[in-house]
Structure 1
Amino acid sequence: MVKQEVKVNWLNNMAFEAEVNGHKIILDATEAGGGEDRGPRPKPLMLTALAGCTGMDVVSILRKMRVELDDFSVSVEGDLTEEHPKQFSKMNVIYSFKGKDLPLEKLKKAVSLSEERYCGVSALYKKAIDITSEIKIIES
Protein backbone atom coordinates (compact mmCIF):
# COMPACT_ATOMS: atom_id res chain seq x y z
CA MET A 1 0.00 0.00 0.00
CA VAL A 2 1.29 3.48 -0.90
CA LYS A 3 0.79 6.13 1.73
CA GLN A 4 0.26 9.75 0.75
CA GLU A 5 0.14 12.67 3.13
CA VAL A 6 -0.97 16.27 2.92
CA LYS A 7 -0.35 18.69 5.75
CA VAL A 8 -2.11 22.03 6.22
CA ASN A 9 -0.72 24.75 8.45
CA TRP A 10 -2.94 27.41 9.95
CA LEU A 11 -1.87 30.88 8.81
CA ASN A 12 -4.39 33.15 10.53
CA ASN A 13 -8.15 33.77 10.71
CA MET A 14 -9.58 31.00 8.52
CA ALA A 15 -6.59 30.63 6.18
CA PHE A 16 -4.49 27.47 5.89
CA GLU A 17 -1.55 26.69 3.65
CA ALA A 18 -1.40 23.19 2.20
CA GLU A 19 1.60 21.59 0.59
CA VAL A 20 0.64 19.05 -2.05
CA ASN A 21 3.35 17.29 -4.08
CA GLY A 22 5.69 20.18 -3.36
CA HIS A 23 3.14 22.82 -4.42
CA LYS A 24 1.58 25.26 -1.99
CA ILE A 25 -2.14 26.04 -1.96
CA ILE A 26 -3.84 28.59 0.28
CA LEU A 27 -7.29 27.58 1.56
CA ASP A 28 -9.51 30.27 3.02
CA ALA A 29 -13.10 31.18 3.81
CA THR A 30 -15.04 34.06 2.35
CA GLU A 31 -15.10 37.34 4.23
CA ALA A 32 -18.65 36.52 5.33
CA GLY A 33 -17.29 33.26 6.75
CA GLY A 34 -14.55 34.98 8.75
CA GLY A 35 -11.80 34.68 6.16
CA GLU A 36 -10.12 36.96 3.67
CA ASP A 37 -10.90 34.97 0.50
CA ARG A 38 -7.19 34.31 -0.10
CA GLY A 39 -7.85 30.95 -1.72
CA PRO A 40 -10.44 28.31 -2.55
CA ARG A 41 -12.70 26.61 -0.03
CA PRO A 42 -12.07 22.88 0.60
CA LYS A 43 -15.30 21.43 -0.83
CA PRO A 44 -14.85 22.81 -4.37
CA LEU A 45 -11.41 21.18 -4.35
CA MET A 46 -13.24 17.86 -4.15
CA LEU A 47 -14.79 18.71 -7.53
CA THR A 48 -11.35 19.74 -8.80
CA ALA A 49 -9.86 16.42 -7.70
CA LEU A 50 -12.49 14.49 -9.64
CA ALA A 51 -12.12 16.66 -12.77
CA GLY A 52 -8.35 16.42 -12.74
CA CYS A 53 -8.24 12.70 -12.06
CA THR A 54 -10.66 11.68 -14.78
CA GLY A 55 -9.32 14.30 -17.21
CA MET A 56 -5.78 12.94 -16.96
CA ASP A 57 -7.07 9.41 -17.50
CA VAL A 58 -9.09 10.37 -20.57
CA VAL A 59 -6.19 12.25 -22.19
CA SER A 60 -3.84 9.34 -21.55
CA ILE A 61 -6.27 6.77 -22.95
CA LEU A 62 -7.10 8.86 -26.04
CA ARG A 63 -3.38 9.31 -26.79
CA LYS A 64 -3.00 5.53 -26.77
CA MET A 65 -5.99 5.34 -29.14
CA ARG A 66 -4.31 7.97 -31.36
CA VAL A 67 -7.22 10.38 -31.06
CA GLU A 68 -6.14 13.97 -31.72
CA LEU A 69 -7.96 16.68 -29.78
CA ASP A 70 -7.89 20.41 -30.45
CA ASP A 71 -9.12 21.13 -26.93
CA PHE A 72 -10.54 19.27 -23.96
CA SER A 73 -12.06 20.30 -20.64
CA VAL A 74 -13.81 18.62 -17.76
CA SER A 75 -16.41 20.42 -15.64
CA VAL A 76 -17.89 18.97 -12.48
CA GLU A 77 -21.11 20.27 -10.98
CA GLY A 78 -21.87 19.28 -7.41
CA ASP A 79 -25.13 19.48 -5.48
CA LEU A 80 -24.59 20.34 -1.80
CA THR A 81 -27.07 19.39 0.88
CA GLU A 82 -28.66 22.27 2.77
CA GLU A 83 -28.36 20.70 6.23
CA HIS A 84 -25.14 20.35 8.20
CA PRO A 85 -22.77 18.77 7.68
CA LYS A 86 -23.14 20.17 4.16
CA GLN A 87 -21.90 17.58 1.71
CA PHE A 88 -22.20 16.67 -1.93
CA SER A 89 -25.19 14.48 -2.67
CA LYS A 90 -24.59 14.34 -6.42
CA MET A 91 -21.93 15.23 -8.97
CA ASN A 92 -22.24 15.52 -12.73
CA VAL A 93 -19.09 15.32 -14.87
CA ILE A 94 -19.18 17.09 -18.24
CA TYR A 95 -16.49 16.08 -20.73
CA SER A 96 -16.14 18.68 -23.52
CA PHE A 97 -14.09 17.58 -26.51
CA LYS A 98 -13.15 19.86 -29.41
CA GLY A 99 -11.80 18.55 -32.68
CA LYS A 100 -12.51 17.54 -36.24
CA ASP A 101 -14.39 14.29 -36.91
CA LEU A 102 -13.85 12.98 -33.39
CA PRO A 103 -14.74 9.27 -33.00
CA LEU A 104 -17.62 9.21 -30.50
CA GLU A 105 -17.15 5.52 -29.66
CA LYS A 106 -13.51 6.07 -28.69
CA LEU A 107 -14.44 9.10 -26.58
CA LYS A 108 -17.11 7.04 -24.80
CA LYS A 109 -14.64 4.18 -24.27
CA ALA A 110 -12.01 6.52 -22.77
CA VAL A 111 -14.55 8.11 -20.42
CA SER A 112 -15.92 4.71 -19.41
CA LEU A 113 -12.45 3.30 -18.69
CA SER A 114 -11.64 6.30 -16.51
CA GLU A 115 -14.94 6.17 -14.62
CA GLU A 116 -15.07 2.40 -14.16
CA ARG A 117 -11.42 1.36 -13.89
CA TYR A 118 -8.76 4.03 -13.46
CA CYS A 119 -9.91 7.15 -11.60
CA GLY A 120 -9.42 6.52 -7.89
CA VAL A 121 -11.22 9.73 -6.96
CA SER A 122 -14.31 8.64 -8.86
CA ALA A 123 -14.16 5.16 -7.33
CA LEU A 124 -14.11 6.60 -3.82
CA TYR A 125 -16.79 9.22 -4.41
CA LYS A 126 -19.14 6.65 -5.99
CA LYS A 127 -19.27 4.84 -2.66
CA ALA A 128 -20.98 7.85 -1.09
CA ILE A 129 -22.72 9.86 -3.82
CA ASP A 130 -24.42 9.61 -7.18
CA ILE A 131 -22.08 10.51 -10.05
CA THR A 132 -23.38 11.03 -13.57
CA SER A 133 -21.56 12.15 -16.70
CA GLU A 134 -22.10 13.48 -20.19
CA ILE A 135 -20.01 14.01 -23.29
CA LYS A 136 -20.12 17.16 -25.41
CA ILE A 137 -18.39 17.41 -28.78
CA ILE A 138 -17.55 20.72 -30.43
CA GLU A 139 -16.53 20.45 -34.09
CA SER A 140 -13.57 22.59 -35.09
Structure 2
Amino acid sequence: MDVKVKHIKGMHFQAEGNSKTLTHLDTSTVAGGSGMGASPMEMVLMATAGCSGMDVVSILGKMRLKYTRFEITVHGDRAEEHPRVFTDVELVYKFWGEELPQDKLERAVTLSLNKYCSVANMIDKAANLTYRIEVNPG
Protein backbone atom coordinates (compact mmCIF):
# COMPACT_ATOMS: atom_id res chain seq x y z
CA MET A 1 0.00 0.00 0.00
CA ASP A 2 1.34 3.39 -0.97
CA VAL A 3 0.11 6.94 -0.48
CA LYS A 4 1.32 10.32 -1.69
CA VAL A 5 0.83 13.47 0.39
CA LYS A 6 1.33 16.78 -1.41
CA HIS A 7 1.72 20.17 0.28
CA ILE A 8 -0.89 22.66 -0.99
CA LYS A 9 -0.45 25.79 1.14
CA GLY A 10 0.16 26.58 4.79
CA MET A 11 -0.83 23.43 6.73
CA HIS A 12 -3.11 22.15 3.94
CA PHE A 13 -2.07 18.86 2.32
CA GLN A 14 -3.74 16.63 -0.27
CA ALA A 15 -3.36 12.87 0.07
CA GLU A 16 -3.92 10.19 -2.54
CA GLY A 17 -3.73 6.44 -2.11
CA ASN A 18 -4.04 3.45 -4.40
CA SER A 19 -7.78 4.14 -4.65
CA LYS A 20 -6.98 7.47 -6.37
CA THR A 21 -9.41 9.22 -4.01
CA LEU A 22 -8.19 12.64 -2.88
CA THR A 23 -8.34 13.44 0.83
CA HIS A 24 -7.52 16.80 2.36
CA LEU A 25 -5.63 17.25 5.62
CA ASP A 26 -5.26 20.53 7.45
CA THR A 27 -5.54 21.99 10.89
CA SER A 28 -7.85 24.55 12.41
CA THR A 29 -7.34 28.25 11.86
CA VAL A 30 -6.60 28.54 15.60
CA ALA A 31 -3.64 26.17 15.12
CA GLY A 32 -2.35 27.98 12.02
CA GLY A 33 -4.24 26.12 9.32
CA SER A 34 -7.01 27.09 6.94
CA GLY A 35 -9.51 24.44 8.02
CA MET A 36 -9.56 22.88 4.53
CA GLY A 37 -9.45 19.32 5.80
CA ALA A 38 -9.47 17.04 8.80
CA SER A 39 -6.44 17.01 11.09
CA PRO A 40 -4.21 13.93 11.02
CA MET A 41 -5.43 12.89 14.48
CA GLU A 42 -9.07 13.32 13.42
CA MET A 43 -8.26 11.11 10.45
CA VAL A 44 -6.97 8.40 12.80
CA LEU A 45 -10.29 8.38 14.68
CA MET A 46 -12.24 8.45 11.39
CA ALA A 47 -10.16 5.56 10.07
CA THR A 48 -10.82 3.54 13.23
CA ALA A 49 -14.58 4.04 12.96
CA GLY A 50 -14.64 3.50 9.20
CA CYS A 51 -12.60 0.31 9.37
CA SER A 52 -14.68 -1.16 12.17
CA GLY A 53 -17.93 0.06 10.64
CA MET A 54 -17.19 -1.74 7.37
CA ASP A 55 -16.55 -4.95 9.31
CA VAL A 56 -19.76 -4.59 11.32
CA VAL A 57 -21.86 -3.96 8.19
CA SER A 58 -20.36 -7.04 6.54
CA ILE A 59 -20.82 -9.27 9.59
CA LEU A 60 -24.41 -8.13 10.22
CA GLY A 61 -25.16 -8.71 6.53
CA LYS A 62 -23.97 -12.31 6.85
CA MET A 63 -26.18 -12.64 9.95
CA ARG A 64 -29.09 -11.26 7.87
CA LEU A 65 -29.68 -8.68 10.58
CA LYS A 66 -31.57 -5.64 9.29
CA TYR A 67 -31.27 -2.19 10.81
CA THR A 68 -32.56 1.16 9.59
CA ARG A 69 -29.57 3.31 10.57
CA PHE A 70 -26.03 2.80 11.87
CA GLU A 71 -23.52 5.38 13.08
CA ILE A 72 -20.30 5.31 15.05
CA THR A 73 -19.09 8.20 17.16
CA VAL A 74 -15.55 8.24 18.47
CA HIS A 75 -13.99 10.20 21.30
CA GLY A 76 -10.24 10.30 21.80
CA ASP A 77 -8.32 11.69 24.77
CA ARG A 78 -4.76 12.74 24.08
CA ALA A 79 -1.64 12.97 26.21
CA GLU A 80 -0.88 16.44 27.55
CA GLU A 81 2.80 16.30 26.54
CA HIS A 82 4.34 15.69 23.12
CA PRO A 83 4.00 13.39 21.37
CA ARG A 84 0.28 13.93 22.03
CA VAL A 85 -0.77 10.36 21.30
CA PHE A 86 -4.23 9.04 22.08
CA THR A 87 -4.39 7.63 25.60
CA ASP A 88 -8.06 6.62 25.54
CA VAL A 89 -10.36 6.01 22.59
CA GLU A 90 -14.05 5.16 22.92
CA LEU A 91 -16.24 4.05 20.02
CA VAL A 92 -20.01 4.26 20.38
CA TYR A 93 -21.87 2.04 17.93
CA LYS A 94 -25.39 3.44 17.45
CA PHE A 95 -28.02 1.29 15.79
CA TRP A 96 -31.62 2.08 14.92
CA GLY A 97 -34.18 -0.60 14.14
CA GLU A 98 -36.87 -2.84 15.49
CA GLU A 99 -36.06 -5.90 17.59
CA LEU A 100 -32.29 -5.75 17.13
CA PRO A 101 -30.75 -8.65 19.08
CA GLN A 102 -28.10 -7.26 21.43
CA ASP A 103 -26.05 -10.49 21.31
CA LYS A 104 -25.65 -10.31 17.51
CA LEU A 105 -24.67 -6.63 17.62
CA GLU A 106 -22.15 -7.44 20.36
CA ARG A 107 -20.75 -10.34 18.34
CA ALA A 108 -20.31 -8.20 15.21
CA VAL A 109 -18.57 -5.40 17.11
CA THR A 110 -16.25 -7.68 19.09
CA LEU A 111 -15.27 -9.63 15.96
CA SER A 112 -14.39 -6.36 14.29
CA LEU A 113 -12.40 -4.94 17.18
CA ASN A 114 -10.66 -8.16 18.23
CA LYS A 115 -10.04 -9.81 14.87
CA TYR A 116 -10.73 -7.93 11.64
CA CYS A 117 -10.18 -4.17 12.02
CA SER A 118 -6.47 -3.48 11.53
CA VAL A 119 -6.79 0.17 12.53
CA ALA A 120 -8.53 -0.61 15.84
CA ASN A 121 -5.93 -3.26 16.59
CA MET A 122 -3.12 -0.73 16.06
CA ILE A 123 -4.86 1.86 18.23
CA ASP A 124 -5.42 -0.75 20.96
CA LYS A 125 -1.64 -1.22 21.20
CA ALA A 126 -1.12 2.47 22.03
CA ALA A 127 -4.32 3.52 23.82
CA ASN A 128 -7.06 2.14 26.02
CA LEU A 129 -9.68 1.23 23.38
CA THR A 130 -13.23 0.79 24.66
CA TYR A 131 -16.68 0.65 23.09
CA ARG A 132 -20.39 0.87 23.83
CA ILE A 133 -23.41 -0.21 21.82
CA GLU A 134 -26.59 1.87 21.79
CA VAL A 135 -29.81 0.50 20.33
CA ASN A 136 -32.53 2.96 19.37
CA PRO A 137 -36.09 2.29 18.17
CA GLY A 138 -36.99 2.48 14.49
Instruction: Identify the TM-score tier after normalising by the shorter chain.
Output: over 0.9
- TM-score by length of structure 1 reads 0.94
Unaligned runs of 5+ in 1: none
Matched, 1:14 2:7: no
Alignment of 1:49-60 (within 5 A): 49-60=47-58
Q: CA deviation at 1:59?
A: 0.7
* Structure 2 Cα separation of the partners of residues 103 and 122 of structure 1: 24
- TM-score by length of structure 2 reads 0.95
Identify which of 40, 45, 48 aligns with 2:46. 48
Q: Please, what is the CA RMSD of the aligned residues?
A: 0.9
Q: What percent identity do the matched residue pairs reach?
A: 41
Unaligned runs of 5+ in 2: none
* Structure 1 Cα separation of the partners of residues 30 and 134 of structure 2: 36
Matched, 1:107 2:102: no
SS of 1:127's partner is helix
SS of 2:126's partner is coil
SS of 1:58's partner is helix
* Structure 2 Cα separation of the partners of residues 139 and 29 of structure 1: 37
* Structure 1 Cα separation of the partners of residues 70 and 5 of structure 2: 31
Deviation per CA, 1:77-127: give whole Å up to 9, x if none: 100111111111010010001000011111111111111111111111111
* Structure 1 Cα separation of the partners of residues 29 and 133 of structure 2: 36
Number of paired residues? 137
Q: CA deviation at 1:34?
A: 2.1
Q: For 1:115, give the aligned amino acid.
A: L
